[in-house]
Structure 1
Amino acid sequence: MPLAFTSDLIDRAAAGGTAVAAVNVITLEHIEAVINGAEAASQPVILQISENAVKYRLGRLAPLAAAATAAARTARVEVALHLDHVKDLGLLPTALECGIGSVMIDAAHLPYEQNVEVTRHAVKWAHTHGIWAEAELGEVGGKDGRGALDAHAPGARTDPAEAAQYIEETRIDALAVAVGSAHAMTSRTATIDRELLGRLHETVSVPLVLHGSSGLADAELLAAVAGGIIKVNIGTALSIAMTHAIRTHLTSEPRGVDPRGYLSDARTAMTVATTRLLNTIAAPDHTLWSVSP
């Protein structure tokens, strides 16, 4: 089937009280695994290509986007394509050429006024071209090798009043919030600030997005969705599954040289991880909202 619109998947999840998973992909094996996992879970999915992934792919967005689009056309579930963590706004026209329907503008590292200025400019361009736009306020830690921000450090949490103002000034379609998760966590030990998430859900007029979801245990993921998170970003969980599978294969077959062997194992492991995560967030138990972390 043709690429789905991110906005349609988000709206449907919001109406159903669930969330949609947005999974970062780097290789063709990632794309195949995520779609296979989504089909096994009978859930729609958003494939995300980050600016860092574009850099890894020698600065070329088109080949990976074309692979994702081709795979989506043969999928048995709806698949949308999203450009993630864009700091270089020069990527936006290329995203449009590649058929990408949504972007995340990453200016959260900038002071508030600069964040607003950069984001507003990018959102105006995106909306002019029919692209759904997400942005972030209250920096989520862990990107580019930096440690997660301390819970009491400036910018470590999203302020609800500031978030409402930010949405009004930038006209974004969705807001990524900092409520306790962190990028690139390899252990599932992060906890959601449920009281803050509740206030954000009551205050903010657009769908809420959670970055750094790989660091959350199932109960925390469920609580996040029950608390109002509509888009759940997943990346590191697949990297862990892929790396472990490759390491195990090469250890068991030290003389092996055919990449199809270990990449096949990696794809299978990422498929299993995707299926489990999508099943977790698809039908949240709202009673978890009242359970203490």
Structure 2
Amino acid sequence: MPLVSTGELVSAAQARGHGIAAFNVITLEHAEAIAAGAERAGAPAILQISENAVKFHGGRLAPIAAAAAAVARTSAAPLALHLDHVESVELLHQAHETGFGSVMFDASKLSYEENVRATAAAVAWGHERGVWIEAELGKVGGKEGEAPLDAHAPGVRTDPDEAAAYVRATGVDALAVAVGSSHAMTERTAALDHELIGRLRDAVPVPLVLHGSSGVPDEEIRRAVTASGMVKINVGTALNTAFTGAVRAHLAEHTTGVDPRKYIAPGREAMTDVISHFLGLVSGTAR
């Protein structure tokens, strides 16, 4: 199936009152698991490659992008390709030529004024080329290399009035907001501020994005989507936790094996199970 644009999938999910899940791609097996999980769930999904994943691949975007796009195009599920957490303008400018229909441009480490200027420039560049742009306002902690951050500390969460002004000033197509989740959580214990999500939904005219969803319990995600208005749900660490757990279990049982296919396969299947579950959760079909 041809690649579908992220904007199209997000708009369709929002119109139905559902969510759309976006999953991080680090290896080819991540992409294959996303495609398989989407087919199993009968739901669309977004494959997203982060700037950190690009760094892992030697700073070369094109090879992993081509692999992910090839997997998506041979899938029976509607899939989009998204470039995530991009801080480098140089990497941003590679997005269009490597097949990405959307980019999350992350200037959240800058001051508010600098964030607005940098993001507005990214939006102008993207919209000239038909690229959908997501941005972040607030502090969603937990990224590699960052100091620990309490998701509920004063000044961390996104302010609705500031968010509305930010969207007007930048022209972004979607906004990632800080509402109680955190990146890289391996336990699902995050508590979301649903009252704040509702206020942000009412104040901001573009879809809301939840980063750090791996650490959010099922019922919290379901409520955030169906009752509060969150649309794009990003999942990364949950895939890596499942993959690594399955690999460890296989290697503990097969101590003399050397064929990586033997332990990568159960890792990929474990990710597929997680992906199918999250897709059912955000689309309202999970039992």
Answer yes or no: same fold by TM over 0.5: yes
Distance 1:150 1:101, change over 3 A: closer
CA distance in 2, matches of 1:104, 1:85: 5
Matches within 5 A, 1:26-65: 26-65=26-65
CA distance in 2, matches of 1:160, 1:84: 23
Matches within 5 A, 1:99-114: 99-114=99-114
RMSD: 1.1
Moved over 6 A (4+): none
- Note if contact 1:140-1:149 (Cα within 8 Å) is conserved in structure 2: no
- Displacement of 1:109 in angstroms is 1.2
2:241 alignment partner in structure 1 = 240
What is the aligned residue count? 284
User: 2:24 aligned with 1:8, yes or no?
Assistant: no
- Displacement of 1:284 in angstroms is 7.5
CA distance in 2, matches of 1:73, 1:196: 38
- Note if contact 1:225-1:284 (Cα within 8 Å) is conserved in structure 2: no
For 1:264, the aligned partner's letter is: A
CA distance in 1, matches of 2:7, 2:151: 33
SS in 1 for 2:64: helix
SS in 2 for 1:143: coil
CA distance in 2, matches of 1:50, 1:216: 20
- Note if contact 2:92-2:105 (Cα within 8 Å) is conserved in structure 1: no
SS in 2 for 1:278: helix
In structure 2, runs of 5+ residues without a counterpart are none
1:208 alignment partner in structure 2 = 208
CA distance in 2, matches of 1:284, 1:161: 34
- Displacement of 1:151 in angstroms is 1.3
For 1:14, the aligned partner's letter is: Q
- Displacement of 1:217 in angstroms is 0.6
CA distance in 1, matches of 2:144, 2:41: 31
- Note if contact 1:192-1:220 (Cα within 8 Å) is conserved in structure 2: yes
- Displacement of 1:5 in angstroms is 0.6
Percent of aligned positions that are identical? 55
1:131 alignment partner in structure 2 = 131
- Displacement of 1:115 in angstroms is 0.6
CA distance in 1, matches of 2:154, 2:18: 31
CA distance in 2, matches of 1:284, 1:244: 26
- Displacement of 1:150 in angstroms is 4.6
2:165 alignment partner in structure 1 = 165
User: 2:90 aligned with 1:81, yes or no?
Assistant: no
CA distance in 2, matches of 1:253, 1:80: 37
- Note if contact 1:84-1:104 (Cα within 8 Å) is conserved in structure 2: yes
> Deviation string for 1:54-96 (max 9, x for gaps)?
0001101111110111111111110100000000010122211
TM-score (norm 2): 0.97
CA distance in 2, matches of 1:208, 1:158: 11
CA distance in 2, matches of 1:147, 1:245: 28
- Note if contact 1:37-1:274 (Cα within 8 Å) is conserved in structure 2: yes
CA distance in 1, matches of 2:99, 2:34: 19
SS in 1 for 2:29: helix
In structure 1, runs of 5+ residues without a counterpart are 286-293
> Deviation string for 1:96-115 (max 9, x for gaps)?
11110000010111110011
CA distance in 2, matches of 1:217, 1:127: 35
For 2:195, the aligned partner's letter is: E
- Note if contact 2:151-2:180 (Cα within 8 Å) is conserved in structure 1: no
